Structure 1
Amino acid sequence: MRKAGAFILGTGRALPSRVLTNQDLERMVDTSDEWITQRTGIKERRIVGEGESNSRLATTAARRALSRAGVSPEDLDLIIVATLTPDYLMPSVAVLVQQALGARRAGAFDLSATCSGFLYALSIADKFVREDPKRKILVIGSEVLSHKTNWEDRTTCVLFGDGAGAAVVTGSPDGERGVLSTHLHADGSLWHLLTLKGCGSLYPPCDPRIPREDYFIRMQGREVFKQAVRAMEAVAMEALETAGVAPGELDLLIPHQANIRIIEYLRERLELPPEKVFVNIHRYGNTSAASIPIALDEALEEGRLKEGDLVLMVSFGGGFTWASVLMRW
């Protein structure tokens, strides 16, 4: 088996204080708690309020991860923020986090790979620390999807929430613990099935010729579901086969929290018992790039991961992009 690379020293998360429940949504659009729960598994989600932003959530999650890792911001070499909902197009969220933390030595950039963004960013961090194991890299997934959600569209407004998760990584301490492999994929031919067109250079803001709906997330749900289940199963098996590991040897699966039916499909295909799959979609909904790092931080807090455990993280998102990371904890 390949020697391990990126080792996670500490994790952290940040969630807005406002909770939006399914009952709240019943008063906003033509939907019901039963309909949402049966089709998605979501019971509530967190939504930013006044004074809360992507960069502030990212910074809070980062501070918690640094504290748990015992790493000073001045020791960071690089900050990578995975997001599709930055505060601004320029400057990046990563630069705002760098300034807020006082991480003066660190390079900083944003990465856009939708819901797969955190695993894409972790893969990049893995390459950097394999080159120099002493490097310390802050990897963040942070989203404010509520600002890109059409609250009149009952097919999408029930799905998304806001939040941030972070991890501090460095080189493997022993060559055994840490990232064993990463697998990144994309298929741009299916981009039209899940889009957020507005405010790009092709669909500039405040253009009266552009439909209002194009400034929000639009999704062809059934087709996205079909692609997601196939891709997540394939990339999960790719990671396991590359490492020569059977699904039953996994100690924990942390899938992107998009839909409970997708998670259950993947669990059944891998023949894993429920206790080996981490699920928190009922609390937060789909937080895109923040989904996996939030789940990872909660799994650690709940004692679901211990030293030596084999953990597989799998994601799928718009673009389409999909990815997996296999780690020895």
Structure 2
Amino acid sequence: MTDIPAPSFARYSRITGTGSLLPARRVTNDELAAELGARGIETSDEWIVARTGIRARHFAASDVAASDLAVQAARHALEAAGRRASDIDLIIVATSTPDMVFPSTACIVQQKLGVHGCPAFDVQAVCSGFVYALTVADSMIKSGAASKALVIGAEVFSRILDFNDRGTCVLFGDGAGAVVLEASDRPGILASDLHADGRHVGILCVPGHVSGGQVLGDPLLKMDGQAVFKLAVGVLESAARAVLEKAGRSESDIDWLIPHQANIRIMQGTAKKLKLPLDKLVVTVDEHGNTSAASIPLALDVAVRAGRVKPGDTLMLEGVGGGFTWGAVLLDF
């Protein structure tokens, strides 16, 4: 990688392109309920919608990896930014469902994009992963360590779902979202706020690992839904208020709230606490389900391509996930 000269001006980072990719297979609640019914597990579209707001999700084919989704989302973001893959000097992938134990999914994405030499690594903060990754990329750009970054969230959560547990298997889906983040003399990312509390490791986890060629423990997702719900609303509000304070902005400055798409009740609850009308809330959970680290960039790209999010808008991105992790980013688009 060539040396990047120290900036001679106030250096910021801005999103210049967005992209996303959903697997071709769309699974409605009715279809999933029929599959679960064959296993003797009762659920219904009404039950799922009432509790989550989810009506459908996408599942990747068995031969499609997180890196495959990530590469396509990245290409869409590069096209939107008017950049080539060879222009990129940093790749960060947020994922909890990597292709391999190692190397990182980011290195696999780098290889599939046909570039080499720049830093490439994964960030693992589960559903907060994209917010974490965006914050890291912003810091590296501001320091002069990078100038054009690909920041990607990509997940194939269908691989780690327990389809005998209707409380979790109906919630999640697969997908990827990406942004190109570039150095600028104009502020883009205004402030970020990241947190974790390991005391809550057990409320959302996949308690398995590989040892000696065998899977030890349980390799499927486990969640205490009530505990997650109670924590989520409170920490999302506090993180949002923290970034507003850091940026010297107020709730009224927010044009769009783009939260992690986990549960419509959590999302609406956060909007209300911030005194935001629900028409300022970007919602894709109904069609995507919870795509973990991919959910925020997926929702962002959907809103951009629909013409809702426009240049100059102020966006609040926020996520909460296993760890227990949470965070928020405030930015001018």
Give the TM-score category using the shorter length: over 0.9
Kindly indicate whether residue 209 of structure 2 is the aligned counterpart of residue 205 of structure 1.
no
CA distance in 1, matches of 2:167, 2:62: 26
Q: Is contact 2:90-2:146 (8 Å) kept?
A: no
Shift in Å, 1:102: 1.0
Query: After the TM superposition, which residues 176-255 of structure 1 pair with which residues of structure 2 at under 5 Å, given as runs?
Result: 176=187, 178-200=188-210, 205-207=214-216, 210=217, 214-255=218-259
Give the Cα separation in 2 of the matches to 1:292 and 1:248.
21
Q: Could you say which residue in structure 1 is the equivalent of 2:313?
A: 309
Name the aligned partner's letter for residue 267 of structure 2. I
User: How many residues of Structure 1 are paired with residues of Structure 2 in the alignment?
Assistant: 319
What is the alpha-carbon distance in structure 1 between the residues aligned to residue 221 and residue 213 of structure 2? 15
Residue pair 1:94, 1:109 contacting (<8 A) in 2 also: yes
Give the 4+ runs in structure 1 shifted more than 3 A: 203-207
Aligned to 1:297: 301
Structure 2 counterpart SS, 1:94: helix
For the residue of structure 1 that corresponds to 2:100, the secondary structure is coil
Corresponding letter in the other structure for 1:71: R
* Contact 2:161 2:169 survives alignment (8 Å): yes
Secondary structure (helix, strand or coil) at the match of 1:38 reads: helix
Asked whether the equivalents of residues 4 and 179 of structure 1 are also in contact (C-alpha less than 8 Å), the reply is no
Gaps of 5+ in 1: none
Q: Distance in 2 between matches of 1:216 and 1:257?
A: 21
- Mapping 1:112-191, distance limit 5 Å: 112-132=124-144, 135-172=147-184, 174-176=185-187, 178-191=188-201
Deviation at 1:50, TM superposition (A): 3.7
The amino acid across from 1:269 in the alignment is K
Contact 2:140-2:146 within 8 A present in 1 as well? no
The answer to which of 242-251 and 260-269 deviates more is 242-251
Q: What's the CA shift for 1:188?
A: 0.3
Evaluate the alpha carbon distance shift between residue 204 and residue 180 of structure 1 in structure 2; reply closer, same or farther with a 3 A threshold. farther
Flag the 1:273–1:192 CA change in 2: closer, same or farther, 3 A: same
Checking the alignment, whether the CA contact within 8 Å between 1:129 and 1:135 is kept in structure 2 is: yes
Kindly state the Cα deviation for residue 271 of structure 1 after the two structures are TM-superposed: 1.2
Conservation of the 8 A alpha-carbon contact between 1:187 and 1:320: yes
- Offset from partner CA, 1:219-251 (integer Å, 9 cap, x none): 010011000011101101111122222212211
Is 1:274 aligned to 2:274, yes or no?
Answer: no
Report if the CA contact (8 A) 1:75-1:105 is conserved.
no
Equivalent residues in 2 for 1:312-327, closer than 5 Å = 312-327=316-331
Structure 2 distance, partners of 1:229, 1:206, is: 34
Distance in 1 (alpha carbons) for counterparts of 2:73 and 2:28: 23
Separation (CA, whole Å) in 1 of partners of 2:208 and 2:301: 32
Whole-angstrom CA distance in 1 between matches of 2:17 and 2:312: 16
- Indicate which of 11, 19, 22 corresponds to 2:18: 11
Letter in 2 for 1:114: V
Q: Contact conserved, 1:76 with 1:105, CA < 8 A, in 2?
A: no
CA contact (8 A) 2:92 2:151 kept: yes
Asked whether the 8 Å contact 2:53–2:285 carries over to 1, the reply is yes
- 1:35 counterpart residue number: 47
Q: State the match for 2:3 in structure 1.
A: none
Aligned partner of residue 318 in structure 2, secondary structure: strand
For 1:248 and 1:182, locate their aligned partners in 2 and report how far apart those are by CA, in whole Å: 18
Q: Which SS does the other structure have where 2:214 is aligned?
A: coil
| SS of match in other structure, 2:159 | helix
Q: 2: distance between equivalents of 1:313 and 1:232? A: 10
1:256 equivalent in alignment to 2:260: yes
Residues of 2 paired with 1:194 and 1:4: CA distance?
A: 38
- Residue of structure 2 equivalent to 1:85: 97
Cα distance in 2, alignment partners of residues 95 and 259 from structure 1: 32
| Percent of aligned pairs with the same amino acid | 48
Amino acid at match of 1:198: G
How many angstroms does 1:73 deviate by? 1.2
Letter in 2 for 1:53: A
Rounded to whole Å, the distance in 1 between the matches of 2:267 and 2:300 is: 15
TM-score for both structures, normalised by structure 2: 0.92
